[in-house]
């Protein structure tokens, strides 16, 4: 006896008006975002099963469909996407193949539906998609999948069933996710910040539709009937505001990964609500990290000791000369007319190459500003981290002593945990981490920030630092330059002795308008 059609087995009702609207949409790409437990993953499974059962019959009398179900890693694929799918379609229903590529093939008198489960989390994984001919696809937890994967998927659907066999009556892509941060491609497209390069039109591309569910504590929260009473109140206990913003309230936010280097950073406290503007009359300072992935951070230290971190420039695969020219052009365009003080760079930039040139020399030459090595001894990491932690912990007249402009998107992610200590692979129960931060694309703006604060006077605030992590050794003084951005070099201060024959007074600050 054959199985009845799938549509006669499954009983499902959308658990809220947003989910219902999601199902009713005929958009080619549909994307739904909501808090944890809101029923969005189940809705995506049911949408695939529904579309399989409604597909137009082919010449052989069967409804033919083929879907890709995508998650970022193989482990997450097995423990989340496949588990959710098999709650509604158990592995014994049809033919389930557990070895990669994992598939589940459902065949009845009327139905021929194939589901292919794939782990894709890198742009280079697009090769896994290029030979697929699909009816549709579901990207589960899309915030963890590069947009390049979605772009390629749009070329692989509308391929099955083939036109020679009658084609299909529906094709499409669906995505679900917990909220990403506001630099993510999802945010840019859903919140009308994406601009079509051809037409200049802002907003989602034609044929795309975004759906956003209410927060879990909202009176309009969805899927509550399928959750335990006080589910959201229970999971909220003991969580920090950033976690609550994403997983309970369903808002865009930053989440920490690994062990954050700056664990005292709080996005809701240390990030301004809108773009910061320079305080008139006070000099700007710049800190920079060099190399093939250079970064620069622009800031101001206010007279009361507060720091305003105004802007960033983060580049990839670029030499020091091009970086210097790009930075000079950006500053002239966006901050022309504001006084610029000394610029601070990685102390390693003072080492001379085979031609006798240093990175600091090249930065000075191609920007026209004076660059100095940041005053942190032999580039002591402990000193560099301590000055940032001290600024983060400062409260002045009820205001945070460290405030970042939302323009600094990469730095903001770095501070939220992308700049972190990597976990060691050990058999110990307690997690162990490496002693130095992981070098990645977020470590460069974090380093530039450290140089900015050191050169801007923080080295004078933090004089003492212990030896090593947990070493318990005697605390020592570290030698720092007496220069700081507010007072100038020691030889120019009131009561200072006249400069010696080898001393030179620094040039007067100049405005850098083109």
pLDDT of residue 448: 97
- Burial class from Cβ neighbours inside 10 Å (0-12, 13-18, 19+) for residue 488 reads middle
What is the C-alpha separation between 424 and 14, in angstroms, rounded?
44
Q: DSSP for 424-444?
A: P--S-SS--B-SS---STTHH
Digit-by-digit pLDDT tens for the chain (514 residues) are: 344 444 445 678 999 999 999 999 999 999 999 999 999 999 999 999 999 999 999 999 999 999 999 998 888 999 999 999 999 999 988 899 998 889 999 998 899 999 999 998 666 677 778 889 999 999 999 999 989 899 999 999 999 999 888 899 999 999 999 999 888 899 999 998 888 888 888 889 999 999 999 999 999 999 999 999 999 999 999 988 888 999 999 999 877 667 899 989 998 899 999 999 999 999 999 999 998 889 999 999 999 999 999 999 999 888 899 999 999 999 999 999 899 998 999 998 777 766 668 899 999 999 999 999 998 867 789 899 999 999 999 999 999 999 999 999 999 999 988 899 987 754 454 557 677 898 888 999 999 999 999 999 887 766 544 433 343 433 333 333 333 444 444 444 444 444 444 333 333 333 333 2
Q: Is 139 helix (H, G, I), strand (E, B) or coil?
A: strand
Q: What is the CATH number of domain 284-494+507-511?
A: 3.30.420.280
How confident is the model at residue 462, as a pLDDT?
Answer: 60
Q: According to the model, what pLDDT value does residue 9 have?
A: 58
The residue ranges of every structural domain in the chain are: 6-226, 284-494+507-511
Asked if 395 contacts 368 with a C-beta cutoff of 8 angstroms, the reply is no
Q: How far apart are CA 40 and CA 30, in angstroms?
A: 12
pLDDT of residue 134: 96
* Superfamily (CATH) of domain 6-226: P-loop containing nucleotide triphosphate hydrolases (3.40.50.300)
What local confidence, expressed as pLDDT, does residue 497 receive?
45
List C-alpha distances in Å: 356 to 360, 362, 365: 12, 11, 14
Looking at residue 354, its pLDDT comes to 60
Contact by Cβ (8 Å): 296, 327: yes
Phi, psi angle pair for 85, to nearest 5°: -60, -45
Three-state secondary-structure class, residue 315: coil
Residue-level pLDDT at 93: 86
Helices (H), 2-136: 17-24, 40-54, 74-76, 82-88
Residue for token pair 């000075």: 364
Q: Judge whether 6-226 and 284-494+507-511 match in fold.
A: no
């Amino acid at each position: 006896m054959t199985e009845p059609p799938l549509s006669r087995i499954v009983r499902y009702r959308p658990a809220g008006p947003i989910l219902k609207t999601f199902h009713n949409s005929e958009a080619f790409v549909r994307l739904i975002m909501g808090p944890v437990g809101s029923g969005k993953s189940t809705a995506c499974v049911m949408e695939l099963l529904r579309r399989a059962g409604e597909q137009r019959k082919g010449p052989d009398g069967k409804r033919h469909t083929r879907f890709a179900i995508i998650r970022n890693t193989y482990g997450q694929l097995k423990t989340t996407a496949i588990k959710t799918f098999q709650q509604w379609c158990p592995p014994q229903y049809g033919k389930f193949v557990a070895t990669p590529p994992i598939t589940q093939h459902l065949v009845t008198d009327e139905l021929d539906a194939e589901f292919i489960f794939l782990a894709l989390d890198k742009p280079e994984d697009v090769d896994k998609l290029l030979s697929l001919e699909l009816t549709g696809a579901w990207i589960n937890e899309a915030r963890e999948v590069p947009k390049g994967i979605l772009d390629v998927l749009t070329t692989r659907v509308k391929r099955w069933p083939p036109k020679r066999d009658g084609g299909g009556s529906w094709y499409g892509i669906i995505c679900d996710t917990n909220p990403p941060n506001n630099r993510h491609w999802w945010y840019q497209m859903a919140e009308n910040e994406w601009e079509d390069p051809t037409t200049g039109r802002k907003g989602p591309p034609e044929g795309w539709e975004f759906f956003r569910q209410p927060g879990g504590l909202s009176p309009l929260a969805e899927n509550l009937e399928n959750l335990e009473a006080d589910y959201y109140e229970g999971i909220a206990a003991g969580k920090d505001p950033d976690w609550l913003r994403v997983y309970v309230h369903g808002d865009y936010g930053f989440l920490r990964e690994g062990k954050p280097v700056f664990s005292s950073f709080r996005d809701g406290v240390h990030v301004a609500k809108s773009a910061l503007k320079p305080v008139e009359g006070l000099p700007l300072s710049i800190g920079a990290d060099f190399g093939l992935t250079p970064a620069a951070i622009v800031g101001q230290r206010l007279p009361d000791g507060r720091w305003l971190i105004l802007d960033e420039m983060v580049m990839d695969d670029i030499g020091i000369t091009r970086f210097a020219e790009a930075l000079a052009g950006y500053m002239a365009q966006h901050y022309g007319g504001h006084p610029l003080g000394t610029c601070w760079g990685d102390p390693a930039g003072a080492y001379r190459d085979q031609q006798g040139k240093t990175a600091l020399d090249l930065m000075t030459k191609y920007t026209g500003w004076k660059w100095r090595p940041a005053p942190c001894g032999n580039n002591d990491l402990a000193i560099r981290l301590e000055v940032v932690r001290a600024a983060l912990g400062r409260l002045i007249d009820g205001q945070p002593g460290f405030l970042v402009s939302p323009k600094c998107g990469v730095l903001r992610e770095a501070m939220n945990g992308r700049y972190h200590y990597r976990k060691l692979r050990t058999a110990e129960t307690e997690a162990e981490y490496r002693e130095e931060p992981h070098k990645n694309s977020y470590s460069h703006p974090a380093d530039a920030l450290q140089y900015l604060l050191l050169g801007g006077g923080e080295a004078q605030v933090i004089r003492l630092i212990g030896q090593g992590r947990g070493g318990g050794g005697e605390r020592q003084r570290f030698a720092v330059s007496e220069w700081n951005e507010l007072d100038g070099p020691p030889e120019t201060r009131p009561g200072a002795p006249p400069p010696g024959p080898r001393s030179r007074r620094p040039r007067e600050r100049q405005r850098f308008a083109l």
